[in-house]
Amino acid sequence: MLTQIINARILTPQGWLKDGSVLIRDNKILEVTNCDLAVIGAKLIDAKGMYIVPGGVEIHVHGGGGRDFMEGTEEAFRTAIKAHMQHGTTSIFPTLSSSTIPMIRAAAETTEKMMAEPDSPVLGLHLEGHYFNMEMAGGQIPENIKDPDPEEYIPLLEETHCIRRWDAAPELPGAMQFGKYITAKGVLASVGHTQAEFEDIQTAYEAGYTHATHFYNAMPGFHKRKEYKYEGTVESIYLIDDMTVEVVADGIHVPPTILRLVYKIKGVERTCLITDALACAASDSQTAFDPRVIIEDGVCKLADRSALAGSVATMDRLIRTMVQKAEIPLADAVRMASETPARIMGVLDRKGTLERGKDADIIALDRDLNVRAVWAMGQLVEGTNKLF
Protein backbone atom coordinates (compact mmCIF):
# COMPACT_ATOMS: atom_id res chain seq x y z
CA MET A 1 0.00 0.00 0.00
CA LEU A 2 1.47 3.33 -1.15
CA THR A 3 0.17 6.56 0.39
CA GLN A 4 1.26 10.10 -0.49
CA ILE A 5 0.51 13.15 1.65
CA ILE A 6 0.67 16.21 -0.62
CA ASN A 7 0.17 19.98 -0.35
CA ALA A 8 1.77 20.06 3.09
CA ARG A 9 4.16 22.15 5.13
CA ILE A 10 6.45 19.39 6.40
CA LEU A 11 8.84 19.54 9.36
CA THR A 12 12.07 17.74 8.52
CA PRO A 13 15.37 17.61 10.46
CA GLN A 14 16.62 20.28 8.03
CA GLY A 15 13.64 22.58 8.64
CA TRP A 16 10.29 23.23 6.96
CA LEU A 17 9.46 22.04 3.45
CA LYS A 18 6.72 24.11 1.88
CA ASP A 19 4.37 22.36 -0.56
CA GLY A 20 6.20 19.07 -0.05
CA SER A 21 4.98 15.52 0.18
CA VAL A 22 5.51 12.43 2.32
CA LEU A 23 5.43 9.02 0.69
CA ILE A 24 4.45 6.10 2.93
CA ARG A 25 4.65 2.41 2.13
CA ASP A 26 2.97 0.14 4.68
CA ASN A 27 4.39 1.28 8.04
CA LYS A 28 7.49 3.18 6.90
CA ILE A 29 8.33 6.56 5.40
CA LEU A 30 9.56 5.89 1.88
CA GLU A 31 10.51 9.48 1.05
CA VAL A 32 10.11 13.08 2.20
CA THR A 33 10.43 15.50 -0.69
CA ASN A 34 9.74 19.06 -1.75
CA CYS A 35 8.11 17.72 -4.91
CA ASP A 36 4.32 17.77 -4.85
CA LEU A 37 3.78 15.73 -8.02
CA ALA A 38 1.46 12.76 -7.51
CA VAL A 39 3.14 9.36 -7.59
CA ILE A 40 1.43 6.86 -9.89
CA GLY A 41 -0.45 4.23 -7.92
CA ALA A 42 -0.35 6.10 -4.60
CA LYS A 43 -3.41 6.93 -2.52
CA LEU A 44 -3.35 10.74 -2.39
CA ILE A 45 -4.08 12.67 0.80
CA ASP A 46 -4.38 16.43 0.40
CA ALA A 47 -3.11 18.12 3.57
CA LYS A 48 -4.57 21.45 2.37
CA GLY A 49 -1.49 23.40 3.43
CA MET A 50 -1.50 22.09 7.00
CA TYR A 51 1.55 21.31 9.09
CA ILE A 52 2.79 17.72 8.77
CA VAL A 53 5.00 16.87 11.75
CA PRO A 54 6.38 13.78 13.53
CA GLY A 55 4.10 11.91 15.93
CA GLY A 56 4.50 12.63 19.62
CA VAL A 57 6.72 10.39 21.76
CA GLU A 58 5.20 10.33 25.25
CA ILE A 59 7.65 9.26 27.96
CA HIS A 60 5.65 10.15 31.09
CA VAL A 61 1.91 9.44 31.14
CA HIS A 62 -0.19 7.68 33.79
CA GLY A 63 -3.44 7.15 31.94
CA GLY A 64 -6.26 8.62 29.90
CA GLY A 65 -9.74 7.93 28.59
CA GLY A 66 -10.84 7.21 32.16
CA ARG A 67 -8.27 4.43 32.79
CA ASP A 68 -4.94 4.31 34.65
CA PHE A 69 -1.90 2.18 33.83
CA MET A 70 -1.68 1.28 37.54
CA GLU A 71 -4.72 -0.94 36.94
CA GLY A 72 -2.33 -3.20 35.05
CA THR A 73 -4.97 -4.72 32.79
CA GLU A 74 -4.91 -4.94 29.02
CA GLU A 75 -8.27 -3.21 28.82
CA ALA A 76 -7.04 -0.23 30.87
CA PHE A 77 -3.85 0.03 28.79
CA ARG A 78 -5.67 -0.09 25.45
CA THR A 79 -8.28 2.49 26.50
CA ALA A 80 -5.71 4.97 27.80
CA ILE A 81 -3.38 4.54 24.82
CA LYS A 82 -6.18 4.96 22.29
CA ALA A 83 -7.30 8.18 24.00
CA HIS A 84 -3.82 9.71 23.77
CA MET A 85 -3.22 8.55 20.20
CA GLN A 86 -6.26 10.55 19.09
CA HIS A 87 -4.42 13.66 20.32
CA GLY A 88 -1.13 13.09 18.50
CA THR A 89 0.79 10.56 20.62
CA THR A 90 2.13 7.77 18.41
CA SER A 91 4.73 6.21 20.74
CA ILE A 92 4.18 5.74 24.44
CA PHE A 93 5.95 4.63 27.58
CA PRO A 94 3.13 3.84 30.05
CA THR A 95 3.99 5.21 33.49
CA LEU A 96 3.24 3.87 36.95
CA SER A 97 3.20 6.14 39.97
CA SER A 98 4.77 4.68 43.11
CA SER A 99 3.35 1.15 43.13
CA THR A 100 3.65 -2.14 44.93
CA ILE A 101 5.78 -4.89 43.39
CA PRO A 102 2.69 -6.99 42.45
CA MET A 103 1.25 -3.92 40.63
CA ILE A 104 4.52 -3.42 38.77
CA ARG A 105 4.61 -7.08 37.75
CA ALA A 106 1.04 -6.94 36.44
CA ALA A 107 1.74 -3.81 34.40
CA ALA A 108 5.01 -5.29 33.10
CA GLU A 109 3.20 -8.40 31.91
CA THR A 110 0.66 -6.28 30.00
CA THR A 111 3.41 -4.03 28.61
CA GLU A 112 5.42 -6.99 27.33
CA LYS A 113 2.35 -8.49 25.68
CA MET A 114 1.56 -5.22 23.90
CA MET A 115 5.18 -4.56 22.90
CA ALA A 116 5.20 -7.93 21.13
CA GLU A 117 2.27 -6.97 18.91
CA PRO A 118 3.02 -5.82 15.33
CA ASP A 119 3.31 -2.04 14.93
CA SER A 120 2.64 -1.45 18.64
CA PRO A 121 2.86 2.13 19.95
CA VAL A 122 4.04 0.74 23.32
CA LEU A 123 7.83 0.98 23.60
CA GLY A 124 8.42 0.16 27.25
CA LEU A 125 7.39 0.75 30.85
CA HIS A 126 8.30 3.79 32.97
CA LEU A 127 8.35 3.45 36.76
CA GLU A 128 7.93 6.81 38.51
CA GLY A 129 9.01 5.65 41.93
CA HIS A 130 8.63 4.20 44.45
CA TYR A 131 12.10 5.19 45.70
CA PHE A 132 11.32 8.81 46.55
CA ASN A 133 11.88 11.39 49.28
CA MET A 134 8.75 11.28 51.45
CA GLU A 135 9.02 15.05 52.02
CA MET A 136 8.53 15.54 48.26
CA ALA A 137 5.89 12.86 47.69
CA GLY A 138 3.43 15.32 46.12
CA GLY A 139 0.71 13.30 44.39
CA GLN A 140 2.46 9.95 44.93
CA ILE A 141 0.77 7.35 47.16
CA PRO A 142 2.80 7.69 50.41
CA GLU A 143 2.24 4.12 51.64
CA ASN A 144 4.22 2.81 48.68
CA ILE A 145 7.27 5.07 49.08
CA LYS A 146 10.53 3.66 50.50
CA ASP A 147 14.31 3.63 50.04
CA PRO A 148 15.82 1.69 47.11
CA ASP A 149 15.80 -2.02 47.90
CA PRO A 150 18.04 -4.34 45.86
CA GLU A 151 15.95 -7.32 46.98
CA GLU A 152 13.09 -5.73 45.00
CA TYR A 153 14.66 -4.08 42.00
CA ILE A 154 17.26 -6.71 41.06
CA PRO A 155 14.75 -9.61 40.71
CA LEU A 156 12.30 -7.29 38.95
CA LEU A 157 14.82 -6.28 36.30
CA GLU A 158 16.06 -9.86 35.94
CA GLU A 159 12.55 -11.23 35.40
CA THR A 160 11.05 -8.53 33.16
CA HIS A 161 12.19 -7.15 29.82
CA CYS A 162 10.13 -3.99 29.36
CA ILE A 163 11.28 -1.48 31.99
CA ARG A 164 13.01 1.34 30.12
CA ARG A 165 13.07 4.09 32.75
CA TRP A 166 13.01 4.29 36.54
CA ASP A 167 12.92 7.47 38.66
CA ALA A 168 14.36 7.93 42.16
CA ALA A 169 15.49 10.57 44.66
CA PRO A 170 19.32 10.43 44.60
CA GLU A 171 19.79 11.52 48.22
CA LEU A 172 18.22 8.31 49.57
CA PRO A 173 20.39 5.53 51.05
CA GLY A 174 21.18 3.05 48.29
CA ALA A 175 20.20 5.40 45.45
CA MET A 176 23.68 5.45 43.90
CA GLN A 177 23.89 1.64 43.85
CA PHE A 178 20.39 1.60 42.33
CA GLY A 179 21.36 4.10 39.61
CA LYS A 180 24.47 2.16 38.66
CA TYR A 181 22.59 -1.13 38.54
CA ILE A 182 19.65 -0.01 36.41
CA THR A 183 21.77 1.95 33.92
CA ALA A 184 23.98 -1.11 33.46
CA LYS A 185 20.76 -2.88 32.44
CA GLY A 186 20.01 -0.18 29.83
CA VAL A 187 17.34 1.55 31.93
CA LEU A 188 17.20 5.37 31.97
CA ALA A 189 17.75 6.66 35.52
CA SER A 190 15.89 9.88 36.29
CA VAL A 191 16.00 12.23 39.28
CA GLY A 192 12.58 12.95 40.78
CA HIS A 193 10.57 13.77 43.93
CA THR A 194 13.76 14.89 45.58
CA GLN A 195 15.39 17.47 47.83
CA ALA A 196 18.83 16.98 46.25
CA GLU A 197 21.33 19.83 46.18
CA PHE A 198 24.33 20.19 43.89
CA GLU A 199 26.65 17.55 45.38
CA ASP A 200 23.80 15.00 45.33
CA ILE A 201 23.01 15.78 41.70
CA GLN A 202 26.66 15.75 40.65
CA THR A 203 27.19 12.36 42.33
CA ALA A 204 23.94 11.07 40.84
CA TYR A 205 24.97 12.14 37.35
CA GLU A 206 28.28 10.29 37.75
CA ALA A 207 26.32 7.21 38.90
CA GLY A 208 24.17 7.27 35.76
CA TYR A 209 21.23 9.58 36.47
CA THR A 210 21.03 11.64 33.27
CA HIS A 211 17.43 12.89 33.25
CA ALA A 212 15.12 14.96 35.48
CA THR A 213 11.50 13.98 36.12
CA HIS A 214 8.90 16.75 35.56
CA PHE A 215 11.53 19.47 35.96
CA TYR A 216 10.59 22.17 38.53
CA ASN A 217 7.85 19.97 40.02
CA ALA A 218 8.52 17.98 43.24
CA MET A 219 12.02 19.45 43.58
CA PRO A 220 13.29 22.59 45.33
CA GLY A 221 14.83 25.62 43.72
CA PHE A 222 17.11 28.22 45.31
CA HIS A 223 16.30 28.38 49.05
CA LYS A 224 17.43 29.52 52.51
CA ARG A 225 18.24 27.63 55.69
CA LYS A 226 18.57 30.12 58.53
CA GLU A 227 20.82 32.92 57.24
CA TYR A 228 22.52 31.01 54.39
CA LYS A 229 21.33 30.34 50.86
CA TYR A 230 21.60 27.08 48.92
CA GLU A 231 21.16 25.96 45.34
CA GLY A 232 18.18 23.68 44.77
CA THR A 233 17.73 20.65 42.56
CA VAL A 234 16.64 22.95 39.74
CA GLU A 235 19.82 25.04 39.64
CA SER A 236 21.96 21.94 40.09
CA ILE A 237 20.42 20.32 37.02
CA TYR A 238 20.90 23.51 35.00
CA LEU A 239 24.59 23.44 35.91
CA ILE A 240 25.10 19.93 34.51
CA ASP A 241 24.97 20.64 30.80
CA ASP A 242 24.30 17.12 29.60
CA MET A 243 21.41 16.33 31.96
CA THR A 244 18.15 16.23 30.04
CA VAL A 245 14.84 17.46 31.44
CA GLU A 246 11.15 16.98 30.82
CA VAL A 247 8.48 19.59 31.50
CA VAL A 248 4.73 19.24 31.98
CA ALA A 249 3.85 21.82 29.33
CA ASP A 250 0.21 22.37 30.23
CA GLY A 251 0.88 25.98 31.22
CA ILE A 252 -0.12 25.21 34.84
CA HIS A 253 2.47 22.82 36.29
CA VAL A 254 5.16 25.17 34.99
CA PRO A 255 4.25 28.77 34.07
CA PRO A 256 4.85 29.79 30.44
CA THR A 257 7.67 32.15 31.51
CA ILE A 258 9.52 29.24 33.14
CA LEU A 259 8.86 27.00 30.12
CA ARG A 260 10.61 29.69 28.09
CA LEU A 261 13.48 29.79 30.58
CA VAL A 262 13.97 26.00 30.38
CA TYR A 263 13.97 26.23 26.58
CA LYS A 264 16.48 29.09 26.71
CA ILE A 265 18.92 27.35 29.09
CA LYS A 266 18.57 23.63 28.30
CA GLY A 267 17.64 24.04 24.64
CA VAL A 268 15.61 21.89 22.27
CA GLU A 269 17.92 18.88 22.35
CA ARG A 270 17.86 18.53 26.14
CA THR A 271 14.23 19.44 26.84
CA CYS A 272 11.24 17.23 26.15
CA LEU A 273 7.53 17.76 26.69
CA ILE A 274 5.39 15.38 28.74
CA THR A 275 1.73 15.31 29.72
CA ASP A 276 2.09 13.52 33.10
CA ALA A 277 -1.59 12.86 32.38
CA LEU A 278 -3.86 10.95 34.72
CA ALA A 279 -6.83 8.73 33.87
CA CYS A 280 -9.18 11.69 33.52
CA ALA A 281 -7.22 13.13 30.55
CA ALA A 282 -8.89 12.85 27.13
CA SER A 283 -12.15 11.79 28.77
CA ASP A 284 -15.28 13.04 30.50
CA SER A 285 -14.18 11.34 33.73
CA GLN A 286 -13.81 13.45 36.86
CA THR A 287 -12.08 10.77 38.94
CA ALA A 288 -8.47 9.60 39.21
CA PHE A 289 -6.99 6.25 40.26
CA ASP A 290 -5.99 7.84 43.58
CA PRO A 291 -9.15 8.85 45.50
CA ARG A 292 -7.32 11.84 47.07
CA VAL A 293 -7.08 13.55 43.66
CA ILE A 294 -9.53 16.17 42.38
CA ILE A 295 -9.75 18.04 39.07
CA GLU A 296 -9.81 21.81 39.37
CA ASP A 297 -8.68 24.71 37.16
CA GLY A 298 -7.81 22.31 34.33
CA VAL A 299 -5.32 20.32 36.39
CA CYS A 300 -5.23 17.43 38.89
CA LYS A 301 -4.58 18.30 42.55
CA LEU A 302 -4.61 16.64 45.94
CA ALA A 303 -7.98 17.42 47.54
CA ASP A 304 -6.28 19.47 50.29
CA ARG A 305 -4.65 21.55 47.51
CA SER A 306 -1.19 20.93 48.97
CA ALA A 307 0.23 19.74 45.64
CA LEU A 308 -0.47 19.22 41.96
CA ALA A 309 -1.01 15.56 41.15
CA GLY A 310 -0.73 15.20 37.40
CA SER A 311 -2.40 16.78 34.41
CA VAL A 312 -5.35 16.36 32.09
CA ALA A 313 -3.19 17.41 29.13
CA THR A 314 -2.70 15.67 25.80
CA MET A 315 0.15 15.88 23.30
CA ASP A 316 -1.52 18.54 21.12
CA ARG A 317 -2.09 20.77 24.15
CA LEU A 318 1.64 20.63 24.99
CA ILE A 319 2.53 21.92 21.54
CA ARG A 320 -0.12 24.65 21.63
CA THR A 321 1.01 25.80 25.09
CA MET A 322 4.65 26.07 24.03
CA VAL A 323 3.79 28.04 20.89
CA GLN A 324 0.83 30.15 21.98
CA LYS A 325 1.73 30.84 25.62
CA ALA A 326 5.50 30.34 25.92
CA GLU A 327 6.07 31.92 22.47
CA ILE A 328 8.42 29.21 21.25
CA PRO A 329 8.71 28.46 17.49
CA LEU A 330 6.46 25.64 16.31
CA ALA A 331 9.37 23.62 14.89
CA ASP A 332 11.14 23.63 18.27
CA ALA A 333 7.96 22.78 20.20
CA VAL A 334 7.31 19.81 17.91
CA ARG A 335 10.92 18.61 18.20
CA MET A 336 10.61 18.67 22.00
CA ALA A 337 7.49 16.50 21.72
CA SER A 338 8.98 14.01 19.28
CA GLU A 339 12.68 14.09 18.40
CA THR A 340 14.08 14.87 21.86
CA PRO A 341 12.09 12.27 23.82
CA ALA A 342 12.92 9.71 21.13
CA ARG A 343 16.63 10.50 21.58
CA ILE A 344 16.40 10.38 25.39
CA MET A 345 14.72 6.95 25.28
CA GLY A 346 17.08 5.55 22.64
CA VAL A 347 14.53 5.12 19.84
CA LEU A 348 15.59 7.97 17.53
CA ASP A 349 16.75 5.41 14.97
CA ARG A 350 13.10 4.75 14.11
CA LYS A 351 10.98 7.44 15.82
CA GLY A 352 10.87 11.19 16.35
CA THR A 353 11.54 12.70 12.89
CA LEU A 354 10.13 12.52 9.39
CA GLU A 355 12.90 10.84 7.40
CA ARG A 356 13.27 8.05 4.87
CA GLY A 357 13.21 4.62 6.51
CA LYS A 358 11.65 5.73 9.79
CA ASP A 359 8.31 4.57 11.14
CA ALA A 360 5.37 6.40 9.55
CA ASP A 361 4.25 8.21 12.72
CA ILE A 362 2.78 11.49 11.54
CA ILE A 363 0.46 14.27 12.74
CA ALA A 364 -1.44 16.83 10.66
CA LEU A 365 -1.98 20.11 12.53
CA ASP A 366 -4.11 22.98 11.29
CA ARG A 367 -3.14 26.66 11.62
CA ASP A 368 -4.54 26.75 15.17
CA LEU A 369 -2.45 23.66 16.01
CA ASN A 370 -5.44 21.38 16.39
CA VAL A 371 -4.95 17.73 15.40
CA ARG A 372 -6.66 16.95 12.11
CA ALA A 373 -5.15 13.52 11.41
CA VAL A 374 -2.77 11.06 13.07
CA TRP A 375 -0.97 8.16 11.40
CA ALA A 376 0.71 5.57 13.63
CA MET A 377 2.93 3.10 11.77
CA GLY A 378 1.26 4.25 8.55
CA GLN A 379 -2.29 3.60 9.77
CA LEU A 380 -4.79 6.41 10.27
CA VAL A 381 -5.74 6.49 13.95
CA GLU A 382 -9.45 5.97 14.46
CA GLY A 383 -11.30 9.20 15.15
CA THR A 384 -8.65 11.52 13.66
CA ASN A 385 -9.64 11.62 9.98
CA LYS A 386 -10.63 15.30 10.08
CA LEU A 387 -8.78 16.15 6.86
CA PHE A 388 -11.36 14.55 4.66
Whether 127 contacts 163, CB under 8 Å: yes
Picking from 382, 368, 362, the residue whose alpha carbon sits closest to that of residue 4 is 362
Phi and psi for 384 in degrees, rounded to 5?
-120, 15
What's the rounded Cα separation, in Å, for the pair 321 and 119? Answer: 30
Catalytic one of 200, 276, 359, 361: 276
pLDDT exceeds cutoff 70 at 388: no
Element containing residue 131 per DSSP (H, E): strand 125-131
Ranges of CATH 2.30.40.10 domains, the chain: 1-50+354-378
pLDDT of residue 6: 96
Annotated binding site for Zn(2+): 128, 193, 214
* Cα radius of gyration (the chain): 20
Picking from 125, 138, 200, the residue whose alpha carbon sits closest to that of residue 169 is 200
What's the rounded Cα separation, in Å, for the pair 301 and 290? Answer: 11
**CATH fourth-level superfamily of 1-50+354-378:** Urease, subunit C, domain 1 (2.30.40.10)
- DSSP 8-state assignment for residue 87: T
The percent of residues in the chain predicted with pLDDT above 90, rounded, is 89
- DSSP 8-state assignment for residue 358: S
pLDDT of residue 386: 84
Question: Mean pLDDT score of the chain, rounded to an integer?
Answer: 96
The domain made up of 55-343 has a fold known as: TIM Barrel (3.20.20)
Ranges of CATH 3.20.20.140 domains, the chain: 55-343
pLDDT of residue 295: 86
What's the rounded Cα separation, in Å, for the pair 316 and 87? Answer: 6
- DSSP 8-state assignment for residue 70: G
Annotated binding site: 128, 193, 214
276 is an active site residue: yes
Query: Angle, to 10 degrees, between the axis of helix 175-184 and the axis of helix 198-207?
Result: 30
User: What digits encode the pLDDT tens for the residues 219-249?
Assistant: 999 988 899 999 999 999 999 999 999 999 9
pLDDT of residue 135: 96
What's the rounded Cα separation, in Å, for the pair 301 and 288? Answer: 10
User: What digits encode the pLDDT tens for the residues 288-326?
Assistant: 778 888 888 888 888 889 888 889 999 999 999 999 999
pLDDT of residue 36: 82
